[in-house]
Amino acid sequence: MHNFQLFIKKNIIKGSTVVVGVSGGPDSLTLLHLFLSIKEEYSLKIVGAHVDHMFRAEQSEEEMLFVKDFCYQYNIPCEAKQIDIPAYLNRNKISSQAASREHRYNFYKEVMDTYNANYLALGHHGDDQIETILMRMVRGSTGEAMAGMKAVRKFHNGYIIRPLLTASKEEILQYCDLNGLEPRFDPSNEENKYTRNRFRNTVLPFLKSENPLVHERFQYFSETFLEDELYLKELTKEKMNTVLKRKEKSEVEMDTKLFLNLPLPLQRRCIQLILNYLYETIPSSLSSIHIESLLNLLSRDHPSGSLDYPNGLRVIKSYDNCLFTFDYDKSLPYEIPLSIPSTIVLPNGSAIDCGILKKPHFLKRGNDVFSLSVERLKEPLTIRSRKQGDKIKLKGMNGTKKVKDIFIDEKIPLHNRDIWPILEDGDGNILWVPGLKKSAFEEADCNGDYIFLQYKEL
Ligand SMILES: Nc1ncnc2c1ncn2[C@@H]1O[C@H](COP(=O)(O)OP(=O)(O)OP(=O)(O)O)[C@@H](O)[C@H]1O
């Protein structure tokens, strides 16, 4: 395995501790054997790590004993753990593969800590890489993910390394033969139940028949694509600072005019970076379709529109503004009864003070105050979010006006419209759209007591 030597030379620091994930199958057994063969030359400390996921009762326990025994023969430590994944699956709604992976990776971290290891070596090979890249393309992955698995990536307090990505399965099986290794074979690898196995059993034989070294072509694609991608990502990061207006934990706002001036490849990556920032873990249902539909929305002439992304993220375009937010729906729709006197804080971050005034000497005018005769009040007063078809009888005007048109005239951004407060009386009349318009129901000049409302930014 010539490439293994090259990989180690390039990526491993002499004197390091390497944890090798060993399932007992041909790939990881080959990997472990290769590491043992260079152990002295590189002054490495090698540790075997095995997880028995307990899917196949005695058979999987036998695999664990096999790995332990192999390590014992070569005089290296072996950490093995039995984890009852079937029981875990009964309690949690998660796929068996995802559950196994999550537990296995947690165990790797524990072992790395115990031995103060710098590297975790895994036995993924070139054929695995072809499957990964094709699967991701087919499901619509974006960006770096399309490069498949990385040969070296940061993990816990060190790195995951995959020294066999340039080797094919066939080479690995030959290596096992040549070196008298007798790996265990997991029967589930053959079933077409899993997507990966379907690619392995159907697409791979065709590609191999076209080019037996196709795994090298895919690995070359993966590495060069990743380099291009990282370069473009750096460019995007630089430009992004000019486009972003606000960046908070669950919200990001950007200027669409400046965004649309960026070259399309940077626009795409800019969206991807915002999503990476907002999502703790990118949902598996998020795909290139989401990015393309947002690009579409932003480049259309229509000034507003919104898109719903997975896990409650909403993207709202409004004039020159584009807001990505998780907070959008939390307080919608709302209806807050107004007791008098009181101060209420509203979902849009503003507040309304409300009290009773004896006939005042001076009453403020303007759209952020509203007054009403106590005598003619139709209780209860409510502050609520807008409803479809809302109309208001405007002061000094005949007929009614749609609240929606008031928002449009005042150029209120789309995402603010749904949380904008509206004052309604007990008869269902809209009295006031605070800060924007008053209805003909206002009585600023009556003789008795007034209910006085003041809208204010906090
Ligand atoms: N049960 C396990 N315990 C420890 N490490 C594992 C286990 N299963 C997989 N790994 C590690 O993850 C790598 C990839 O796992 P995967 O199941 O995709 O491989 P595989 O094709 O079945 O490999 P192998 O021939 O080594 O079983 C393995 O080569 C091995 O390094």
- Residues 390 and 422: beta-carbon distance below 8 Å: yes
d(CA 54, CA 63): 10
For the Cβ of 23 lying below 6 angstroms from any atom of ligand 1, the answer is: yes
Which pTM was predicted? 0.72
CA of 26 to the centre of ligand 1 (A): 9
What is the Cα 14 distance to its own chain's centre?
A: 37
Residue 306, beta-bridge partner list: 316
Kindly give, in sequence order, each residue whose CB lies less than 8 Å from that of residue 447, ignoring residues fewer than 6 positions away: 359
Based on DSSP, count helices (H) and strands (E) in the chain, helices before strands.
15, 22
Helix (H) or strand (E) holding 372: strand 369-373
* pLDDT at site 55: 85
* pLDDT at site 330: 60
Kindly give, in sequence order, each residue whose CB lies less than 8 Å from that of residue 59, ignoring residues fewer than 6 positions away: none
Structural domains of the chain sorted by starting position, each given as residue range(s) with its CATH number in brackets: 2-212 (3.40.50.620), 248-325 (3.30.465.60), 335-457 (3.50.40.10)
Tell me the per-residue pLDDT of 421-450, one tens digit each, with 9 for 90 and over.
999 999 999 999 999 999 998 876 667 788
CA of 21 to the centre of ligand 1 (A): 7
CA separation, residue 325 to residues 250, 272, 303, 305, 329 (Å): 6, 15, 18, 14, 9
**Which atom of ligand 1 is found nearest the CA of 20?**
31
d(CA 350, CA 346): 5
* pLDDT at site 25: 95
What residues are designated binding site for ATP? 23-28
CA of 29 to the centre of ligand 1 (A): 9
- Of 68, 76, 88, 73, nearest in space to 22 by CA: 68
For the Cβ of 425 lying below 6 angstroms from any atom of ligand 1, the answer is: no
* Unique residue bearing structure tokens 């007990």: 426
d(CA 374, CA 352): 18
CA of 167 to the centre of ligand 1 (A): 15
Tell me the per-residue pLDDT of 9-25, one tens digit each, with 9 for 90 and over.
999 999 999 999 999 99
d(CA 319, CA 303): 5
User: Both ends of the chain: CA-CA distance in Å?
Assistant: 68
Bridge-based pairing of strands 391-392 and 401-402 is: antiparallel
Q: 197-202: which pairs have CB atoms within 8 A and are 24 or more residues apart? A: 199/130, 199/131, 199/134, 199/135, 200/127, 200/131
Residue range 130-158: mean pLDDT, rounded: 93
d(CA 421, CA 382): 10
CA of 197 to the centre of ligand 1 (A): 14
Tokens of 52: 């028995």
Residue nearest to atom 27 of ligand 1 (CA): 25
ipTM of the complex: 0.95
For residue 67, give the 3-state DSSP assignment.
Answer: helix
For the Cβ of 83 lying below 6 angstroms from any atom of ligand 1, the answer is: no
Kindly give, in sequence order, each residue whose CB lies less than 8 Å from that of residue 294, ignoring residues fewer than 6 positions away: 271, 307, 315
Tell me the per-residue pLDDT of 146-204, one tens digit each, with 9 for 90 and over.
999 999 999 999 999 999 999 999 999 999 999 999 999 877 766 666 788 899 999 99
For the Cβ of 160 lying below 6 angstroms from any atom of ligand 1, the answer is: no
